[in-house]
Amino acid sequence: MSLLNLDGVKVHFPLKKGVLFDRTVGHVYAVDGVTLAVEAGRTYGLVGESGCGKTTLGRAVLRLVDITDGSVVLDGTDLASLPDEEMRKMRRRVQMVFQDPLGSLDPRQNIESLLSEGMAAHGIGADREERRTRIKEILAKVGLPANALSRYPHEFSGGQRQRIGIARALVLEPDVIICDEPVSALDVSIQAQVINLLEELQESMGLTYLVIAHDLAVVRHISDVIGVMYLGSLVEEAPSDSLYAEPLHPYTKALMSAVPIPDPVVEDTRERILLTGDLPSPASPPAGCRFHTRCPWKQETKCDTERPELRDLGGGHKVACHYAAEIAAGTVRRTAGEAIEPVAATEAAV
Amino acid sequence: MPLLSVDELTVTFTARGRRDVRAVSGVSFSVDQGEVVGLVGESGCGKSVTSLALMGLLPKRGVTVGGRAEFDGTDLFGLGDAKLREMRGSQLAMIFQDPLSSLNPVVPIGVQVTEILSRHRGLKGEAARKEAAHLLDRVGIPDPRRRLKEYPHQLSGGMRQRALIAMAVACAPRLLIADEPTTALDVTIQAQILELLKELVDEEGTALLMITHDLGVVAGLCDQVNVLYAGKTVESAGRRELFASPTHPYANGLLGSIPRLDAPRGEPLRPVRGSINDQIAWADGCAFAPRCDHYTLECLQGTPELTEPRTPGHQVRCVNPVLSPVGAGDVAVIEAPHIVTGLETGLETGPETGPEAGPGTEQPAPGAVTAVAAAAPATGEPSGEAGTVPTVEPAGKPAPGADVTTAGGAAPRTVTQARDGEEPGGEPAAPSAAGEEPTEAGS
């Protein structure tokens, strides 16, 4: 049994209309049936483009949004059906690091106050002194000076603020930390510092992460298992290495080929799969496979009528595509979508 | 002769009661017809300000623009407002980062596109609409006739960026400046937009000045790359040359910081330590010195010049460039503790104020060395802990922008003092700082 199990989690937001009567005219299917398991001490990376529901899923685990259906089981307890007060107590065990480090820190609270608030709420530390000692330990762990205690969020740089956000999660000794785009607001060199910090902390404290990000390269770097989301559901899930070595879902293939690699030699020689069009609206997702409207490998049958389930193709590599095996074997050809041939290597180096 | 040549561009922001901020302090580059030139750097390096200065879009008050920018023989900074308006849109065009805030939300797309057509090409009525529809079609917007009537909020992010590109290329400009054109977009959409820009350059021969923080984008698109740091070009080379042998420690560090999709897993990243706030003024030395692993005393002796330590055309502004193979850039040549060791030897051998041409750690007057040793812990932690540098209390908060931080700035000044006066005993305020900072860093 894994530490955190999500089973068929759905989050649907009602679309309301009308002045007097709140008529529900439809739903936004933000998360539409996600099943995944996060092992203790490992990192699960959730990747997808904006609007795919990855952030909503992260918030659903903490019940910061209402779960429409499905279960979120942490260590044997189903969070989805817990009464509010019980849930509040459980939140100590699942903490979140947010994307915008300045927006998620109260500008009027100093760091000690920010960090001790959660401890007081959950009854960690007998008194102020004990909490302060604990906070100082954590601050040292995340690489902040001890004199940070009496300072305010605006006095820190972006990277330091993100460290404060991580420290705030750590002081509660959580079982799982959900990192929602932990580095996307940071500059490249600071990004690397924070990524390294997250990895070091995992190693020294045995933390479990659920990392949500849009940057496939970042997710691949820190995750043991990666789940790729598209329009509210997982389309592929695999151990980090096998996902990169052999992406099976057409969307993953396209996503991977679109990630720029900082190496001109690689950039010039690899094939690009350009997707046409934009993400369909999650309020009226396409029937059948959610991806069939943009899929370069779309077939005549099944794709637009039957919704593919996530199935294991061996080695824990799960994919939700009717034709994944055939595409991998090369028996199903690409039917649409622009393929950009690699730039000839003849282009002389300047 | 290049289409655009920028020579020693400087931009200084002044505000009453505040110190001047020099956002760009000497950037030179040139763009040829059909060439893609990249300006790369992290936030605050002056890349966007450079583009705004070239387009004449900076406010007049409180901004001083220096240097020269010649576009096809015309001095861009010497043009009057009317003449510049004539150039903008027809000769020079710009694509901004955020398409939603660059489009007028209460005006349909069609009107915004035809506006530029009637302004510069004299097209009116149906002719303008037809051309606008053709332009939208050209940039890959399906059903352009219908889209012309829509408002920006009705378009998706990628579509908005396409509309913005359509407006930029409406008059077939000879130079296109793209300021982070894909930063706000998803990767699959980013790939579409980059492909579109490539096409435009290939087919129309438009010169493209690409401003971005993403080295991956640069690798796939740019012919010539300029890496900026704190308002100055620190490295400039052809893209293959740059990525194969990043020679400035900053460029090298940037490449080491990026998690690569195709890299083997499990290797930790090699980040540049500290943050952009830890910098000294270029006038005092290399602005990157406080974050640099190759930092020596030489770095603090005035602005380093652009040299070509590797191959002709590959310019690097560094006195201790990374000449070892790629990937070895993070191995410190001289670490901060070595400088402290230098202090001891300096004291033993007594004052020596010979010429500073010696490589590595030379031995200037003890006063100078002490000051540097004091500055070292403040600016860089022990390399084992690649954390953000703590802002040390006695040193004060580092001023953002190109200003001298108290900690970093004190060092070079002391160096000069000690050297000029040949005063071995001079240890102005340094010991107290030296005594404090290690404890700060260690706690």
Q: Of A230, A259, A279, which marks where a domain is finished?
A: A230
Q: Tell me whether residues A264 and B261 touch, CB distance under 8 A.
A: no
Q: Select the residue from A187, A214, A215, A276 to test the B interface by mutation, using most B Cβ atoms within 10 A.
A: A187
Residues of chain B in contact with residue A197, where contact means CB-CB under 8 angstroms, are 387
- Among A166, A201, A230, the domain-final residue is A230
Q: What angle do CA B320, B322, B327 make, to 5 degrees?
A: 155
**Number of domains composing chain A:** 2
Chain A residue with the nearest C-alpha to that of B291: A189
Residue B235 has pLDDT above 90, yes or no: yes
Torsion of CA B339, B344, B349, B350, to 10 degrees: 90
In this predicted model, what pLDDT tens digit does every residue of B104-161 receive, in sequence order?
999 999 999 999 999 998 988 999 999 999 999 888 888 899 999 999 999 888 889 9
Task: Give the amino acid at B187.
Answer: V
CB < 8 Å to B217, chain A: 260
One domain, residues A85 and A8: yes
Rounded Cα–Cα distance for residues A336 and A254 (Å): 13
B 183-222 near A (Cβ less than 8 A): 186-192, 194-195, 213-220
Residue of B nearest to A261 (CA): B216
Whether A214 sits inside 8 A of B187 (CB atoms) is: yes
Looking at the fold, whether A215 and A306 belong to one and the same domain comes out as: no
Among candidate residues A196, A230, A264, the one where a domain is terminated? A230
Say how far apart CA B43 and CA B214 lie, in whole Å. 11
The chain A residue lying nearest B378, using CA atoms, is A145
Q: Is the CB of residue B256 less than 8 Å away from at least one CB of chain A?
A: yes
Q: Please state the rounded mean pLDDT for residues B29-34.
A: 93
A154 located within any domain: yes
A282 and A144 in a common domain:
no
Would an 8 Å CB–CB cutoff place A188 in contact with chain B? yes
Tell whether A303 and A225 lie within a shared domain.
no
Chain B residues touching A163 at Cβ < 8 A: 387-388
Considering chain B, what percentage of its residues have pLDDT values greater than 90?
Answer: 41
pLDDT tens, A94-138? 999 998 888 889 999 999 999 999 999 999 888 899 999 999 999
State whether A190 and B192 contact (CB < 8 Å). no
Domain shared by A150 and A14, yes or no: yes
Shortest distance, CA A201 to any CA of chain B (angstroms): 13
**Do residues A127 and A158 both lie within one domain?**
yes
User: Taking the CA of residue A22 as centre, how many other CA atoms within 13 Å lie in the half-sphere pointing to its CB?
Assistant: 3
Q: Chain B 373-402, CB below 8 Å of chain A: which residues? A: 385-388, 390-393, 397
Which residues in chain B are contacts of A254 at CB distance < 8 A?
188
Give the integer Cα–Cα distance in Å for A210 and A273: 29
Is the Cα dihedral A266, A267, A271, A276 positive or negative? positive
Residue A239 lies in a domain: no
Separation CA A114–CA A95 (nearest Å): 14
Q: Do residues A82 and A11 both lie within one domain?
A: yes
Report which secondary-structure segment, H or E, holds B193: helix B187-204
Which residues in A54-73 are b (16+ Cβ under 10 Å) and which e? bbbbbbbbbbebebbebebb
Structure token pair of residue A105 = 């820190």
pLDDT at position B322 is: 87
Judged by CB atoms closer than 8 Å, whether chains meet at B270 and A265 is answered as no
* CATH number, position A104: 3.40.50.300
Higher confidence at residue A24 or residue A252? A252
C-alpha span between B101 and B112 (Å, rounded): 13
Q: Number of C-alpha atoms within 13 angstroms, CB side, residue B370?
A: 20
Residue A235 lies in a domain: no
Contact predicate A217/A184, CB 8 Å: no
**Closest-CA distance of chain B to residue A207, Å:** 17
- Give A214's contacts in chain B (Cβ within 8 Å): 186-187
Residue numbers of the domain that contains A139: 4-230
Do residues A328 and A189 both lie within one domain? Answer: no
Q: Does A203 touch chain B (CB under 8 A)?
A: no
Helix residue spans in chain A (DSSP H): 54-61, 84-90, 111-121, 128-141, 158-170, 188-205, 216-222, 240-245, 250-258, 264-269, 324-329
Q: Which residue of A has its CA nearest to B159?
A: A278
Query: What is the per-residue pLDDT across A217-275, written as a single tens digit (0 to 9) for each?
Result: 999 999 999 999 999 999 999 999 899 999 999 999 999 999 999 999 988 888 888 88
Partners of A158 on chain B (C-beta within 8 Å) are 275
**Which pLDDT value is given to residue B423?**
40
A218 and A252, same domain (yes or no): no
Of B188, B224, B275, the CB nearest to A159: B275
Its sign, for the CA torsion B338, B343, B348, B353, is positive
**Residue B389 pLDDT:** 41
Q: Please report which confidence band the pLDDT of residue A1 belongs to, taking 50, 70 and 90 as the band edges.
A: confident
Radius of gyration of chain B (CA): 25
Instruction: Report ipTM for this prediction.
Output: 0.85
C-alpha to C-alpha distance for B41 and A188, rounded to whole angstroms: 9
A49 with A140, same domain: the answer is: yes
The verdict on a CB contact (< 8 Å) between B240 and A350 is yes
Q: Give the model's pLDDT for residue B430.
A: 39
Give domain status of residue A113, yes or no: yes
CB within 8 Å: A50 and B218: no
Of B214, B255, B392, the CB nearest to A260: B214
Cβ-based contacts under 8 A for chains A and B: 182
The DSSP letter of residue B108 is -
* Cα separations in angstroms, A184 against A158, B230, B392: 11, 22, 27
Question: Quick check: is A242 in a domain?
Answer: no
Nearest-CB residue to B393 (from A147, A254, A274): A147
Contact, B37 vs B209, CB < 8 A? yes
According to DSSP H, which parts of A5-44 are helical? none
Pair of tokens at residue A1: 């049994």
A42 and chain B in contact, CB less than 8 A: no
Domain membership flag for residue A238 = no
In this structure, is residue A28 part of a structural domain? Answer: yes
A349 reaches B (C-beta below 8 A)? yes
Contact of B137 with chain A, judged by CB distance below 8 Å, is answered with no
Residue B328 has pLDDT above 90, yes or no: no
The answer to whether residue B362 scores a pLDDT higher than 70 is no
Chain B environment of A204 (Cβ under 8 Å):
none
B358 falls in which pLDDT band (50, 70, 90)?
Answer: very low
Q: Which of B214, B238, B261 sits opposite A244 (nearest CB)?
A: B261
Nearest of B314, B318, B274 to residue B299 by alpha carbon: B318
pLDDT band for position A340 (50/70/90)? Answer: low
Q: How many CB atoms lie within 10 A of CB B297?
A: 25
Which amino acid, A46? Answer: L
Q: Is residue A297 part of a domain?
A: yes
Model confidence at A345: pLDDT above 50: no
| High-pLDDT (> 90) share of chain A, % | 68
Instruction: Determine the Cα–Cα distance for residues A197 and B86; give it in Å rounded to an integer.
Output: 52
Nearest to A49 among B187, B254, B392 (CB): B187
Kindly tell me if the per-residue pLDDT of B246 is higher than 90. Answer: yes
B63-71/B74-75 β-pairing: antiparallel
Amino acid at B93: A
Contact between residue B85 and residue B24 where contact means Cβ atoms under 8 Å apart: no
Residues A226 and A251 reside in one and the same domain: no
Note whether A83 and A183 are same-domain residues: yes
pLDDT of residue B232: 93
Mean pLDDT of chain A: 89
Q: What is the mean pLDDT of residues B87-111?
A: 90
- The pLDDT value recorded for residue A233 is 93
Contact predicate A305/A288, CB 8 Å: yes
